[in-house]
């Protein structure tokens, strides 16, 4: 998904960007190709860097930004020159949605900014916001000191297992703006794996009649295909128990009991929806669609791909997946059953009753899609997936931050000029609901019943709680205005000692 977005971004002068105007009109922004030359950005000693942080906004006056005629979105009347615009710094250079190494002007819905991945501008006064990619964000590498005039923005569309620091309130409170998998975030990416509504309406790749015939040739009713086995959702433990009660064909490295055909052994075919692979897995009535991590709005291709193919997903992941299904009869939710055995008995019944099974595919008829939330979300989202007629979500979030920052800076200027007539800008802080995910739990059984040497037990719960320590440690670093992130461990240790002594 991320690679698709990166391919869509920064490949031509006409780079896509979301307009957030009054009517939500989509537009394209023209970005100018401009770079921070290394010789002009050479900061020399640390003293020079420290001084740069307190220089006036003309500090970048010697830097050259190409001036081109920009197409501005409806509502963008920003006539400032490049040298007057606030700067957005993409801290994760690999996510920078423009040409690598460049710094570009972006013209968004209501305002304009300069965007760069050049960390040399971190301490500059005009650098208004730093944008982080959640998977790459590490407390011991955070850009410190955190300057009072800068905001932090979080972009994170991936699994909670990639960074459990973001599953805790103290970790999320570090950020002012969020674009995450959660519907509660400032810029929701919840349906990133569903490219468009018609994706669901594609006719079944393999007919029910053919699936029934294949069942008679010893094909199992249930498919499992995973090669990433050690994950916080502990899905293999669940599948291993399920296998005691129903036949499951498992082709991946995890619980493998059947080899893939030679022409499908390249795992890239599974990620790119290669047709022969898709047809192969579509032969199965049921797909075990088990996410690698559990979080309320975290749903991936494991859920949407079986629906696309005309198979029934047996799903465990998002606890509120029903909120996003085409109708209330299109997926089988693992957590609705008291045990793997109870689930297996239900699947066997559907396997033997074609009429009941067909009810789970009725959403293929657009008239049977009854979920207004799903329809509204797909209709109103401003970004597209593999759709060059719409902007991608990287550029969209960048523009969201740009417009928010310009509004914040304008409010601050108005307050300075007329403190009695203009209120200062209100601080915007992310909430736990913007990403926070629960403590990992065993895929089957109770945590207290696991042996002490269980590999999952020794890994994921510990990672979860250690991430909380790191989040609180980084908060402490910022609170003490530290400039050395390597002091994180010292602050964590000090907090642990205080807790042991019963002190806050």
pLDDT tens, residue by residue, 100-112 = 777 899 999 889 9
**Residue 61 pLDDT exceeds 50:** no
Residue 184 lies in a domain: yes
pLDDT grade for 322, boundaries at 50, 70 and 90: very high
Buried b (16+ CB within 10 A) or exposed e, 277-303: bbebbbbbbbbbbbbbbbbbbbbbbbb
pTM (2 d.p.): 0.85
Q: Are residues 160 and 238 in the same domain?
A: no
Domain extent for 116:
87-190+427-501
494 falls within a domain: yes
In this structure, the answer to whether residues 220 and 181 fall within a common structural domain is no
Lowest pLDDT segment from 92-101, 393-402, 405-414, 425-434: 92-101
Q: What is the mean pLDDT of residues 455-465?
A: 97
CA 175 to chain centre: 15
Tokens representing 450 are 């696991």
| Residues 352 and 440 both lie in one domain | no
182 and 203 within one domain: no
Q: What is the mean pLDDT of residues 222-249?
A: 97
Decide if 137 is inside a domain: yes
Number of H helices, E strands in the chain: 16, 14
Residues 461 and 487 in one domain: yes
pLDDT digits (tens, 9 = 90+) for 196-220: 999 999 999 999 999 999 999 999 9
The pLDDT of residue 50 is above 60: no
- Of 313, 347, 378, which residue constitutes the final position of a domain? 378
Report whether 176 contacts 151 (CB < 8 A).
Answer: yes
- 103 lies in some domain: yes
Asked if the structure places residue 67 within a domain, the reply is no
Segment 127-135 shows an average pLDDT of 97
Q: Is residue 59 part of a domain?
A: no
Question: Do 186 and 201 belong together in one domain?
Answer: no
Question: For position 387, what pLDDT does the model report?
Answer: 77
Residue 417 confidence (pLDDT) above 60: yes
Torsional class of 476: left (φ above 0), alpha (ψ -120 to 50), beta (otherwise): alpha
Q: In percent, how much of the chain has pLDDT > 90?
A: 74
Residue 39 lies in a domain: no
Q: Do residues 269 and 243 both lie within one domain?
A: yes
Q: Is the pLDDT of residue 243 over 80?
A: yes
SS (H, E, C) 436-466: CCCCCCCCCCCHHHCCCCCHHHHHHHHHHHH
Q: Inform me whether the pLDDT recorded for 25 exceeds 90.
A: no
Q: How confident is the model at residue 72 (pLDDT cuts 50, 70, 90)?
A: low
> Are 206 and 265 found together in one domain?
yes
Band (pLDDT 50/70/90 cuts) for residue 33 is: very low
Query: Quick check: 56 pLDDT over 60?
Result: no
Residues 236 and 346 in one domain: yes
132 and 170 part of one domain: yes
Residue 392 maps to a domain: no
Does residue 386 have a pLDDT over 90?
Answer: no
Number of domain units in the chain: 2
Give the tens place of pLDDT for each residue, 153-194.
999 999 999 999 999 999 999 999 999 999 999 999 999 999
Q: Which of 320, 355, 378 is the last residue of a domain?
A: 378
For residue 434, the model assigns a pLDDT of 96
């Amino acid at each position: 998904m991320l690679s698709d977005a990166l391919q869509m971004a920064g490949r031509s002068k006409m780079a896509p960007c979301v307009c957030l105007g009054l009517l939500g009109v989509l537009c394209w922004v023209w970005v100018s190709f401009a770079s921070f030359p290394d010789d002009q950005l050479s900061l020399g000693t640390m003293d020079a860097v420290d001084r740069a942080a307190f220089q006036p906004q003309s500090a970048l006056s010697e830097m050259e930004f190409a001036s081109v005629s920009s197409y501005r979105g409806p509502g963008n009347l920003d006539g400032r020159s490049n040298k007057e615009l606030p700067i957005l710094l993409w801290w994760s250079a690999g996510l920078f949605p423009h040409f690598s190494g460049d710094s570009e002007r972006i013209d968004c819905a209501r305002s304009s900014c300069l965007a760069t991945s050049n960390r040399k501008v971190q301490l500059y006064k005009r650098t208004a916001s730093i944008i982080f990619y959640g998977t790459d964000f590490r407390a011991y590498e955070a850009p410190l000191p955190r300057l009072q005039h800068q905001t932090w923005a979080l972009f994170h569309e991936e699994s909670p297992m990639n960074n459990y620091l973001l599953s805790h309130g103290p970790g999320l409170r570090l950020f002012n703006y969020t674009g995450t998998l959660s519907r509660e975030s400032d810029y929701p990416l919840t349906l990133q794996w569903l490219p468009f509504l018609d994706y669901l309406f594609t006719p079944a790749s393999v007919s029910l009649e053919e699936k029934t015939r294949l069942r008679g040739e010893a094909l199992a009713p249930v498919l499992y295909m995973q090669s990433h086995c050690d994950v916080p959702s502990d899905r293999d433990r669940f599948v291993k128990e399920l296998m005691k009660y129903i036949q499951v064909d498992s082709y991946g490295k995890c619980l493998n009991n059947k080899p893939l055909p030679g022409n499908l052994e390249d795992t890239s075919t599974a990620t790119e929806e290669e047709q022969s692979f898709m047809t192969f897995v579509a032969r199965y009535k049921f797909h075990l669609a088990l996410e690698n991590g559990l979080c309320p709005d975290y749903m991936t291709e494991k859920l949407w791909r079986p629906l696309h193919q005309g198979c029934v997903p047996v799903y465990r992941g998002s606890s509120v997946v029903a909120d996003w299904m085409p109708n209330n009869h299109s997926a089988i939710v693992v957590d609705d059953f008291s045990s793997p055995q109870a689930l297996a008995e239900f699947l066997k019944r559907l396997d033997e009753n074609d009429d009941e099974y067909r009810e789970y595919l009725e959403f293929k008829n657009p008239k049977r899609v009854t979920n207004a939330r799903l329809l509204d979300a797909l209709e109103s989202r401003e970004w597209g997936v593999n759709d060059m007629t719409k902007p991608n979500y990287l550029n969209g979030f960048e523009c969201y931050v740009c417009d928010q920052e310009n509004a914040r800076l304008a409010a601050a200027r108005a307050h300075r000029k007329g403190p009695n007539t203009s209120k200062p800008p209100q601080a915007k802080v992310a909430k736990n609901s913007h990403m926070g995910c629960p403590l990992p739990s065993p895929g089957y059984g109770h945590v207290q019943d696991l042996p002490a040497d269980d590999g999952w037990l020794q890994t994921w719960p510990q990672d979860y709680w250690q991430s909380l320590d790191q989040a609180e440690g980084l908060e402490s670093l910022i609170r003490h205005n530290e400039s050395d992130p390597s002091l994180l461990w010292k602050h964590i240790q000090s907090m642990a000692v205080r807790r042991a002594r019963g002190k806050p």
